[in-house]
Each structure stands twice: as C-alpha cells, then as structure tokens.
Structure 1
Amino acid sequence: MNGIGDRAEGHVPEGRDAQLAGGRRSARAVIAGLLLAVATLLAGCTVGPSQRPPVAVRGEHMPVPPASAPPPVAAPVPLPVPQPGFPTIEFRDCTGTLATAVPTPADRVLRVGCALLTVEADPAQPGLSRTRIGLMRVGLADAPADRPPLLVVGDSATRPSATGAAILAGQVPVELLQRYTLVGIDRRGAGIDDLDCGPAVARSAFVNIDPGGDGSLTALNALLEQARQVVQDCYLVHAGALSGYRTASTAWDIEQARAALGVTQMSAIGVGDGATALSTWARTHPAAAGRLVLDGPPNAALDEPDAAEARAAAAESAFDAFAAACAAEPTCPLGADPRAAVSAFVGRLRAQPITATDGRRLTAGMTVTALLTGLSEPAGWPDLAAALGQAQSGVPDALISRLVPLVTRGGEFDIALATDCNDVQRRMTPAEVGDLTRRWRTAYPLFGATMAQRLLACGPWPTASPAPVPDPGTQLPPVLVIGTAHDPRGPLENSRRVASETPGALFLSWQGGGTGAYPRTPCVVAAVGTVLVAGRLPLDGTLCPP
C-alpha cells in the first residue's frame, strides 16, 4: 500500500517540499485577494443604482440597507401679510341701499360704505379730463375700521364690480370677512361712470344678429353701418376719452385705489378680464402686490379673430354643461335633449319671431344673445331653462326681459363693446367676416355665426398701440390662477396659459361652468381660503370636481 500515495506524502525531496508549501501559501493569498475584491464589488452594488445589467440574487437573508435621507424640501415662499387699511377717501354709509337687493345669510351682519375715486379719463392721455369711479366697501358690521381691504375686480361683461363685492360678501365663508373687508371697484363705464352713448337702433342690431346668417355682404355691410353709428355717437359724447375704456386703464385704476385705501401692499381677487387687469397691475407694481387670485383670466395675447373663435368654442362648451345640468333634472323644461330643442327653436324663430303680450318680439338673435349672457352665471341656469321653455310654448316675456340690461340706458352693451374694441388691435372687413361666418356656423353650430358677425362691431373703432407689460421678475409674490372648464368667456386653456406665463403662479382647474369659479364649490373655496386667509400655497395643478 505504499504506491504513489506513499511517495507523495513521505518521499518528496526537502527542496521540493518547501517549494510546494510556498506555492500553496501564494495560491491561498491570491484566492483570498480575489474573494475580498468580489466582496467589495458586491458591497458596492448595494450603494446605489448601476448601469450594469441586473443580477438575480437570493437576498432573503441579506441585511436591509439603511434608508437614504429624503431630499431637502424647499421652504414655501411666504405670502405677504395683509396690511391694515387707512383710507384717504371718505366712505359714506350706504347699507340701506343694498339691504333688499343683496341677500345676506343669518350668520353675518354686513355694513356697506360707498365712495367715489377721481381718476384720469384716459391714463394714456394725462390732463385730458378726469372722471369718477365707484368704490363699495363691504364687511362685518363689527369689523374694525382698519381691517385689511381685499379688492374685488369684476368682468366687464357681467355686473359692476362694486355691486359684485356686496354679493360676494354674502357668499364667502365668514372666516374671509373676519380677515378682510371687501372693496369692489367699478369698471370704467359701469356704475357711477355710466357709459351710455350707443344708439338704441344699433344696440338692437347687434343683439338681433341672425345666428343662421350665410355671411352675405349686404347684411354684413348693414351691420357695419350700425357699428359706425355707435362710434360716431360715442365720440360726440366722449371725444378722445373714449379710448380710456380698456382693461389697461382698469389696471391703472387699481393702483389709484390701493393708494386711496392706504396700504402699501394690497390683496385682491379678479374675475374674467378683471383678472387680466389685476395681473397687469401686479406685473407693473410687483412690490405693491399682496395675496392675489386670478379667477378665469382670458389670454390677453390673443387678437381677432382668434379671440372670438376661442369665445365661440367656450360658449359651445358652456352650453353643453348647461344642457347636461338641465337634462339631469326630471322636470327639465327643454326635455331630454336640450341642445336639439334649443337649436330647433332658434331655427323656428328665424322664420317666425314670437310676439310678447306687450308687443315686443323675440327673434332668433335675441335668443342666442340671452343664452350668451345667461351662461355666465350657473346659479341662474334653472331660470334660463324655464324662460326658454316658456318661449317655446309661445310666451317669450321672461326671455325678452333678460335682455333689458343690454339695451337700456345704463346697461352693459356700451361698456362691453368699448372694452372689447379697445383691448384688441385687428379690425375685420365684411368680406373676412363673411368667410368666418360660413366656417364657424358649421364648427360652432349655436354661437359661431353670431360670434363671427359681432367682429364688425369693432370695425370702425380706432386702434391704439398696446402698452407693454413689464416682467416683474422675482418681485411678484406667488399668485393663484383658476381656470373653469365651461366658461363662456374663454376656454380653460387660456387661463392655464396665463398661469404658465406668470412668474411663480400656481394653477387650479375647476370642472364646472360659468364665469368665475369662486365661491361656487367647496374645493375652490378651500384653495382660495388657503391663499387669502391662511397665507399658504395650495398644491399646483389641483383639479376641482364640478
């Protein structure tokens, strides 16, 4: 049994034995080094992501790596603290004038004060003349005199801002009124500064635009002639000051109001093109901007005809929301398909208008105009549907009465027209409008032809170069911008674009309808309260349900 094994273990020469022993030690060292390198490599793989292909490993018994520290969160940008107001103008008590006009909930007692602010008739032409605009201060009856003001700037196509502030005071949470006193500022041409210069015949011509018009030049030239009458008559009354009725002038008025209210930084909320005016003011005076909310601002960069087409598309969307809300009720006066019912009714009126008991006639154009004005206020949609239903039954009185504010003295037609025409630059010819009428009548069945023909209202209107809006840089505090999915004054994307172009703005979208989302829904109320009352920023990109 002493073969090869015996020789290997016991008969190796002494020098050979030392050599083999050294070789074994060297091999063990190499293996140990390799194992150490592999261990180091494996340990390194647990540190972070690798660009190498993943390796399948059974890791049930491997130690859990320590949790990495969360990335540092940037401190929220602080919002300005509302400042006490020390007005330099006198507010006289006018609570009694609104006691019955503005409903007030049982949880609050309001006190109303009225004042007049003297401003340049046209800020672009200082020294030309001066005019006055109304301010209305509305707050809790037991509020201290220096409670911080919250300026309210309304849309030129809806109710005057001053009255709007009083209505808002009856709708907002009491917590807002415990933080602020609302101050409404009238838009130029509304309230005390009543713009009343357009001939009644011309107003009626634009209210009665044929929604099924084929764009014939004869009809369009006649409409353009009515527009010339408006411009001629208004210039006879107001001369060069007529150019002062524009959104940029309202921005100038906001700065005068801030100074008159005695604050160095002012919080405010603007609706529709009132939000545009507020944005312009804030960009021009960023150091004076407090906590701001822009509710439904249109894209002011759009010129005609793009702006009119955006309104046509928005009006169709708003009507769909109105129709869905009506059809959801078992007693909807317009039946299961309100769009089909209204479209058929407008078609009937084109052939045969309906006469009211007092002799007034309801035309197809008046019906479409009543829709365009009524869609801005969802709270009035049930009454609008009821008026349409009555008119379908041959009783048009309620629907005709809805148009009185447009065509009577002190109404809304002249100021809306002047603001729209002064805010845009391009003037359309009858031939261009005819082409748009034919195309939009198909693309936007209820409102397209009307929106196209309305472009002629600004045809004779003088144009002025728009004032550049400065870049506020980092001086402007964060601003909350709200967009409404079914706003007849402009599409949601317009407001989203305003937010994207405003430094530090946060955007909130509401899937409801009407002009102005606040305070129509708890979700929007909570977000606005976060900004105005708590002084914190809501989550950017918040989506509020209908």
Structure 2
Amino acid sequence: MRQRCGRTPVGVSLMLLVMALCGALLAGCAVGPSQRPPVAVRGELLPAAPPPAASEPAADPDALPGIEPVGGGPAFTDCTADVLAGLAAAGTPVPAARALTVGCGQLTVPADRSRPDLGPARLGLTRVSAPDAPADLPALVVLGDTGTDGSARAAAALAGRMPAEMLQTYQVVGMDRRGAGEDLLDCAPTDARAALLDAAPDRWDTPAMSALLEHSRSIVQDCYLLLSGTLTSYRATSTADDLESLRSALGPARLNLVGIGDGADAAAGWVTRHPGAVGRVVLDGPGDPTLDDPAATEAATAAAESAFDAFATACAAGPDCPLGADPRATVTALLDRLGRTALPVGDGDAVTAGATVRAVRSVLAQPARWPELQAALAAADGGDPAGLVRMLVPIGGPQGRFDAALATRCNDSRVRVTPGEAAELAGDWVERFPLFGTAAAQQLVSCGPWPSGGPVPPSAPQGDAPPPVLVLGTAQDPRSAQSGADRTAEQLGDGRVVRWQGAGTGAYGHTPCVTEVVDRALVEGRAPAEPVVCPP
C-alpha cells in the first residue's frame, strides 16, 4: 500500500513539519503523483540478486590428459615369431610368461617435407599387444635410440618388461627412425665405413684425422648420389615430423609417447613443435639440448667413461669376473695388443682396437648384456674374437646401423671440426677419457664433409604450454650425463624429473621405482608433484 502527502493552506513551518512527519512515517513523501516503482513488502517483486560468484576449482597441476582409442591407422600383418626371435638373438628375449602378439606395418611419410618432388619414405611400424587386446586400444608409441635396437624391436622389448596392467591399457606401437628397419640406410662404401669403424685409438695426429676426413667425404658423396638429395632428412627434426604423421594416422588428438636415448631427443623436439597434441609423454635419457659440438660430444664421452667404470665395478664385485680384479686395466691392455696386431676372423677380416672400442661403448647402453660383453672381452684377450664379432655385426655389418647413426649424428650437429682441431681435442680428451676420448674426436672429424645442421629448433614449446612431461635421467648412461634430463625438463617448461642411480640408456622397465612412477603417469594420468630419485 502507498500513502501520499499533499499541500495544505498553512504556514511554511507547519508544512515543513508535516513533510518531516511524512518522511519519518513513510520513508519518503513525494510532491505530486509518485513516479517510484512499487515497494516490495516481502521482496518477491525485486529482481533476483545474482548468486555469489563461485570460484573455479584450480586446475590440477599434476593431471595428465586422458587417453583416446585408436581410430584407424596403418594395416599390420602378424610377425610375432620373427620379432620375438630377433629379440632373443640380440640377447634381450621377452620373458616366457609374457604372451604377446606382434604385427608389422609401414608408415608412409614425405622423404623431405620441403621437397615434395623427392617422393615418399617408408618407416617400419610394430604393434605389440596382449593376444586378446581390442584393435582400438589406445596407442603408446615408442621411439628408440639409433645406437641400440630400432624402435620396432625396442617396442617389443619394452612390452615384454611392462607390468600386465600396461598392456590392458595400451597397444605399444614402435616407429623406426629414418635409416633403420624398413628404411635401412646402406649407402657408404665398404672400405670407407671400415676405415671409420677401425680408426686406431692411438692415432690422433692431424694426418690421421685428415685421412678420416677423406674417408667420410667419400661416404657423403656416395650417399648423396644414391639418395637423390634426401641424406639431410636423417635428423631429429624429421623424426618429430614423422611422429606427427603417425599421430594423424592413428587418429587421437593427443599422442602418448615414450622416447629412449636419442629417440627422447627427437620426441622432445616434437613436444616443442606440437604442444597441443601432447598426451602422456615420457622422455627416457635425453641429452642436454643446450649443447652443440664439441661440448655435446665431450659431455657424452665423459658419461661413457663413467658408465664403463660402473661396468668394471659390477664385474669386479662378482665372484668370478672374467676380466679379473681390474677390468679397466685388462681392457686397456687388450686394446694395446689389438692396436699392434688385430685378431683375424677369416676372409681377410680382423677385429681391431678401434672396432672393439665401438663395440664396448654400444653394449654399455644395455646392462642386461654386460655379462656377454665381459665374456667377449675375456675371450678376445685369449685370442678368440667370436664374441666381439657378434657385437660388431649389428653396428657395421651389411645390415648394420652405422650409416644411419653417422647421418643422424652429423645432421643434428651444426658445428664442423677441422682435422687440426680434432687432433687438439683428442690430445686433451685421451688424458681425461682414456678409453673413448680419441674415438670421440674421430667421430667429430668424420662429420666434417657433411652439410652443417639445419635451422636451430625452438628451445621452448611453441604456443600453449604442453601438459607435464616425465623426463628420466640415468646416472651411468653412456650416451648422456644425467644433467641432460634436468636441462630438457627446464626447456619444456613443466618437465617432471625422475633420476635413477643406475646404468644404461633407458630407465623405464629396468627398476621397480622408475616403473612405478611411469606406470602411474601412463595408466592413471598422474605426474609426480616433486622430483623423484630412485636407487640403483
């Protein structure tokens, strides 16, 4: 109800009094017709007040993206028997209790995305799953290290070590790096390849380095003629592009990925270029992305010497080390003898000191094969080269990985070293890194004739920040110091570091502590909130 006060013929003071009384009684008395809105007695005519703004829950900083089923992809044919037999022959068999089904296929990608006229390249794929797994199970892609087994074989080996829950969550898809598997790079003249493999560890003078440069020049010339200009595509940035092609072929918006060794380097490059496509990603043993040669080679060589110390300590600690109480002294003496007289193996071939150094460094990446390496070195010390030959065939044999490893290493480096500079580095490194220093300087000079690396890749993710990425570092990794994991994590912006005080290239699947952290990330989608340190 509304009341109104009007004018009366009284004095001014009386009128003011009445107005005051009206104001007190009615909380406001207007002259003339009221223009005010109705007064709501109970409030039902007032507009509803907006509710207090609810604060949005803070995003969980440790949550990883969800996983999606595979929506298609390349065709696979069964190759279970061949792949498992290959693993057994390489000394990394799948446990007998683990039943796996393996399919082999191909991914077609541009040979060079900047040169459509060069046509396609084909990369080998391996799909590994439990025998009863559905075909659309989410994919976990594995990208291996060019210095060890190809990605296809690495995927099967990793599936053999995974907890069973992982194979209920994922199918494991290995993608070969360029130059491996289906795309095997075999272009170097045999004599030039042998010269680089057999380069003597006691020859680091400038004339010796100049001779290696000329052998490498003949490799570059022959490979360019054979590959029609695609030689420079064997590099980490091409692999990052290939990963994106695989993601597109498989169908999910985000890719789940494990990169190992230099496969972790390439995977980190993919993360920086495609942060919006990053799913649950593990980088296992990346190098330091802030270094280029010769600093990068120096850091890797120091890591290899440290890994050999771990190898020697493990052998000497056993009850029957075939290399005696001082394995380093035994191996050094063996190399000295091989430097004077190589061990003949028939057909004019022989095991040299330089080839032995390369076999040792390669197998140091796989601690499961350390007993085999110990036995091979002890046998060679007694005059039997057969064990070392078995290790050297995958490196420099007709179906070896030497050409691809050389191309990838040289294409990913932007610095070229002259024979004189390499000789100077070798003189320093042989004192600090007595087993591997000279060979490291020889590798640097062997990249001299190669075109310098392409444009510098981005040092941080482009666009939106990716979700947390697990970065694993191993204390005695012959390929990279553990600090490489720290630098990679810093560069990615939200890398979650897991440090294993063990040995070898790749920590996942080799120790329960690391495996538990990684499985929680890959299966439950939870990244560790703080850095993790795992015992040996």
| Aligned position for 1:466 | 455
Q: What CA distance in whole angstroms lies between the structure 2 residues aligned with 1:218 and 1:306?
A: 23
Corresponding residue for residue 275 of structure 1: 264
Structure 2 residue aligned with 1:377, among 346, 366, 385? 366
1:343-422 equivalences under 5 Å are 343-356=332-345, 360-422=349-411
Q: Which residue of 2 aligns with 1:196?
A: 186
> 2:421 corresponds to which letter in structure 1?
E
Q: CA deviation at 1:471?
A: 2.7
The one-letter code of the counterpart of 1:93 is D
> Cα distance, 1:409 vs. partner?
2.1
Q: Is the 8 A contact 1:123 1:244 kept in 2?
A: no
Q: For 1:395 and 1:468, how far apart are their aligned partners in 2? A: 47
> Which range moves more in the overlay, 499-508 or 187-196?
499-508
Q: Which of 282, 296, 307 is matched with 1:318 structurally?
A: 307
Letter in 2 for 1:326: C
* Gap change, CA 1:398 and 1:121, over 3 Å in 2: same
Q: Distance in 2 between matches of 1:505 and 1:463?
A: 30
Query: What amino acid does structure 1 have at the position aligned with 2:148?
Result: T
Task: For residue 237 of structure 1, report the CA deviation from its aligned partner.
Answer: 0.3
Distance 1:123 1:299, change over 3 A: farther
Task: Give yes or no for contact 2:282–2:470 (8 Å, CA) kept in 1.
Answer: yes
In the other structure, the counterpart of 1:122 is: 112
Q: Is the 8 A contact 2:62 2:529 kept in 1?
A: no
Residue type at the aligned position of 2:198: N
Residue 425 of structure 1 corresponds to: 414
Describe how 1:101-250 pairs up with structure 2 within 5 A: 101-102=86-87, 103-213=93-203, 215-250=204-239
Does residue 533 (structure 1) correspond to residue 523 (structure 2)? The answer is yes
Deviation at 1:382, TM superposition (A): 0.3
> Per-residue deviation at 1:443?
1.1
The one-letter code of the counterpart of 2:485 is S
**Other structure's SS at 1:101 match:** helix
For the pair 1:300 / 2:289, whether they are aligned, the reply is yes
Where does residue 68 of structure 2 map in the other structure?
83
Q: 1:352 to 1:89 in 2, by over 3 A?
A: closer
Measure the CA separation in 2 of the matches of 1:501 and 1:87: 33
Taking the aligned partners of 1:280 and 1:126, their CA distance within structure 2 comes to: 22
Q: Structure 1: how far apart are the matches of 2:521 and 2:502? A: 21
How far is the alpha carbon of 1:358 from its aligned partner?
A: 6.2
How far the C-alpha of 1:339 sits from its partner, in A, is 0.9
Question: Using the alignment, how far apart are the partners of 1:73 and 1:444 within structure 2?
Answer: 50
2:142/2:257 contact within 8 Å kept: yes
CA distance in 1, matches of 2:298, 2:280: 33
Report Cα offsets for 1:164-216 as digits up to 9, x if no partner.
Answer: 11111111111111110000000000111111001111111111121122x32
CA distance in 2, matches of 1:443, 1:335: 24
How far 1:116 moved relative to its partner? 1.1
What residue is the counterpart of 2:50 in the other structure?
none
Aligned mates of 2:281, 2:379 — CA distance in 1: 42
* Matched residue, 2:425: 436
Aligned length: 474
Matched letter for residue 263 of structure 2:
G
Q: Give the whole-Å Cα distance in 1 for the aligned partners of 2:83 and 2:207.
A: 48
Counterpart residue identity of residue 339, structure 2: R
RMSD of aligned residue pairs (Cα, Å): 1.7
User: Structure 1: 5+ residue runs without aligned partners?
Assistant: 1-71
Give the C-alpha shift of residue 449 in structure 1: 1.0
Cα deviation for residue 298 of structure 1 reads 0.8
In 2, Cα distance between equivalents of 1:420 and 1:533: 34
State the shift of 1:474 in Å: 4.7
Distance 1:397 1:457 in 2: 28
Once the two structures are superposed, the pairs formed by residues 252-263 of structure 1 within 5 Å of their partners are 252-263=241-252
TM-score w.r.t. length of structure 1? 0.84
Distance 1:349 1:95, change over 3 A: closer
Cα 1:120/1:327, change in 2 over 3 Å: same
Percent of aligned pairs with the same amino acid: 50
Equivalent residue for 2:78?
93
Q: Residues 107 and 400 (structure 1 numbering): CA distance in 2 closer, same or farther, change over 3 Å? A: closer
Shift of 1:359: 5.3
Instruction: Give the distance between the partners of 1:472 and 1:183, measured in 2 at CA.
Output: 26
CA contact (8 A) 1:135 1:162 kept: yes
1:61 maps to none
Structure 1 CA distance for aligned equivalents of residues 231 and 348 of structure 2: 35
